Every structure is written in C-alpha cells, then in structure tokens.
Amino acid sequence: MTNTDSDNSREWASQAYALLKKRQEEQKQELERREEQKQELERREEQKQELERREEQKQELIDKANKENIPIVSKTIEEPKLGEFDDNFTWSAMILVAQGKKINQISIDEIDWLTKLRRGLEETRKGFVTELLDKLGDDPLTPESLDDLETLLIRADVGIDSTDKVINSLRKKLNEEVVGGEAGIKFLKKELKLIIDKPIKNSGVDLLVPEKGKLNVWLLVGVNGVGKTTTLGKLAYLSSRSNYKTLIAAADTFRAAAVEQLKVWGKRSNVDVISNQSKNADPAAVVFDAINAAKKRNVDLLLVDTAGRLQTKNNLMDELAKIKKIIDKKVPDAIVESLLVLDASQGQNGLKQAKSFAKSANLSGAIITKLDGTSRGGVSLAVSEEVNLPIRFIGAGEGIKDLRPFNSFEFVEALLADK
C-alpha cells in the first residue's frame, strides 16, 4: 500500500465512520421518536379510558338521581349553611312548625329563605308594626288606635281599598267586644291573609306548578328593570331542580345584553336558552323557534323572557299579543301563564303599572320582586285587592335561590313579626 493509497483509505474510513455515526444517530433519533409516539399513544389511550370512566360515573349519578328523584343542578351553586341558633332560626322554625312541618322535614334551605323573607320585610315592618305595637302597648284597641293603624297601612303601600277593608272589619269587631293589643295583631294578620288569599282561591290553583305531560308556557312581563330576567333565571333553577324539563326563550330582543344575561342564568341551572342574536330579531319568531324546540325535546316548562321597553313605535302590549297568538296557534293545548313581574320598591307606582298591564295583557298572576330592603312590601296586598291578581312567587334578593312560591301565611307572619 502506497502512502497515497493509505491516505485515501484513511479518508474513506473517516467518511465511512462519519456516515455510520450519522446513520446510528439517525437510528437513535428514530427510536426515540418511535418511543415518544408510543408513549403519546399510551397517554391518549389512558385519557380516553379516563374520560369514558368519568362519563360512566356521570351517567350512573344521573340514573341514580332520576331513580331517586334527586335534582341535578350545577355544582357551582352554593348550598346555604346552618347559621347560629338565634332569633332568626327560632322564628323560621316556628313558622314551619305552625304549618304542620315535622322536625325531620325541616331543611336549611327553608330556614334560610324564611330568614331572608323576614329580614327583607324588616323595613316595611319598621314603619308599620313596630310603630303600631308601640302605640298599642298592652292596652285594648280604641277608635284612635284604629286611626293610627289606618295611617300606617296606607304608608306601607297596602292601598286604600285593602286598608278600608281591614279597618272596617276591625271597627266592627271593636263594637262587639274589647280587643287587646295581641288579639288585635292576630285579627289583623287574619284579615290581611284573607285579602291576599282571595285571588288565589278564585283562580282555583293554590300553588302554581307546571302540569306534567303538557307544555306549560310562562311569560314574564312587566316594565323595564323590575326583575323579569333575574326572576326567570331563578324560576329556571327552581324548575330544573324539581325535575321539570325546562327551556328558556330569550324573547327580549330589544336589549342587546339580554340574551347574554339569560345564558348566564341558563348555565347556572343547566337550562338551554333559545335565542336569535341578529339585531332587531322578532320576539314572536324567537318564541316560534322555542316552541318547536320545546316540542321536540318534550319540555315541561318553557319560560319566556320579554322586553320591558321597546322602540317607541312598537307597543309593548302589541308585542305581547303577537307572542300569545303564536303560542295559541302552535300549541293550542299548552297551559299559558302571563305573570306580571312587579318591583315592590316601586310601591304605588308598581300598582299603577299592574293596573295598566292587567287591562290589556290578560294577566294570570303576579310575581313580587325586590322585597329585600324596601319599606313598601305592603304593595303586595294592593295587588291582590285592587288588581285581583294571585301572587305566585316572591323574590327577596339577587341570588338564584332568592325566589320562592308565594305562601300567604309566611308572608303575613314575616310582615307582622313582632321583633
């Protein structure tokens, strides 16, 4: 081998080595790549199995919930906690017992609500009962104390008609017998309850619930800002919690943010919202779509949110009439409720609204909102007496659980609670 040959061989060997090294490097990388791929596949398989396992668990829970009638609602809603053993608890428990509840039937939810109701009516009570009790003392009622009571009732927005009714009954009783302070309050409670109960009795329905096996359509109507959308959100929660298949129709197409507001409420209670995002969409067309969806999905309760204000050329009542017409045409056997939402804090103004809606909107009931923190809770009585509307629900707060079916006993007890 010559020197040149030797140099060439060395060069060749070096190139071969470099090549082999490169090939080995590539093989190593290929192996690493395959290993990674394998691991990725395994990871995905594990994830898939995990998802399937969770899905199975979820289905099991749903089946179990359905079987045992346990409501399935979003976990994000905070459950009320048992507070102190205080005056609020004692009063609430006593109200439940007075209605025939057994100790083991009492829930924290109920105590929580009654506490809210009593607290909510505090302002109304302050300017009314507290003063009344101060004036009455332990002495028997006199014609003068009746005059005081009359003023107080009017001031609490109870309305002239209801006030007249109560005062006349009390006067009649006074003519017949001596009535002490405590007996006077008891009689007052009875009279107020009679006034509130009358339209409820007349309607033939003590407690408004969706009728199973039929499509129930509840329209929420009222002027702007009274709490229609919030109330609808709370109703959706109550309804889905009670295992009614529920759907929401976003028929307030006037206010741009209304649909988003409803979707947030829908999400909280796992209820779908049917909407049409396009500008100036026709509310009746949204209701049309919602009814189609409701029929397809076998919905029990369709909740319809409506606008509180429209462009001036459109009339609120015309729009409501159009919505009603669509419902009557598409589902003539649906059970339709037109519920007027009233903001208690608007007092006599709210009463005026109720009267004008009642004239043209063919209402079947009322929902009183914002009873928390107003001194005008007495307006509920005026709605019953002067507009003859059964009160179906009351709201006392902005939370999802701050709405309950109306219970006249609880309401009057909270209104006239003596502390």
Ligand X SMILES: Nc1nc2c(ncn2[C@@H]2O[C@H](COP(=O)(O)OP(=O)(O)OP(=O)(O)O)[C@@H](O)[C@H]2O)c(=O)[nH]1
Helix, strand and coil percent figures for the chain, each rounded to 5: 60, 10, 30
Interaction partner, residue 369 (ligand X, Mg ion, none; CB < 5-8 Å by kind): ligand X
Task: Give 28: exposed, middle or buried? Use CB within 10 Å, 0-12, 13-18, 19+.
Answer: exposed
Name the 3-class secondary structure at 146: helix
Work out whether 405 is an interface residue with ligand X (CB under 6 A).
no
Minimum CB separation of residue 263 from ligand X in Å reads: 14
**What's the closest the beta carbon of residue 68 comes to Mg ion, in angstroms?**
36
Q: Check residue 283 for interaction with ligand X (CB under 6 A).
A: no
Question: Interface with ligand X includes 189 (CB under 6 A)?
Answer: no
Instruction: Identify the residue among 377, 395, 410, 416 touching ligand X (CB under 6 A).
Output: 395
Of all residues in this chain, which one has the CB nearest to ligand X in the complex? 308
Q: Is 384 in the site for Mg ion (CB under 5 A)?
A: no
Residue 270 · residue 263 · CB < 8 Å: no
Q: Which residue's CB comes closest to Mg ion?
A: 229
Of ligand X, Mg ion, none, which one sits near residue 398, judging by CB under 5 to 8 A according to partner kind? ligand X
Q: What is the DSSP string of 176-242?
A: HS---HHHHHHHHHHHHHHHHHHHHHHHT-SS--PPTTS-EEEEEE-STTSSHHHHHHHHHHHHHHT
Is there binding between residue 231 and Mg ion (CB under 5 A)?
no
Binding range to Mg ion, per CB under 5 A, among 203-211, 215-223, 225-233, 323-331: 225-233
Per CB under 5 A, does 229 bind Mg ion? yes
Return d(Cα 366, Cα 364) in angstroms, integer: 7
Q: Is 260 in the site for ligand X (CB under 6 A)?
A: no
Cα torsion 256, 222, 391, 271 to 10°: value is -20
Rounded to whole angstroms, what are the CA distances from 44 to 56, 241, 321? Answer: 18, 36, 56
**If binding is defined by CB under 6 A, does position 372 make contact with ligand X?**
yes
Which residues contact Mg ion by CB under 5 A?
228-229
Which residues contact ligand X by CB under 6 A?
222, 224-230, 252, 255, 258, 308, 369-370, 372, 395-398, 402
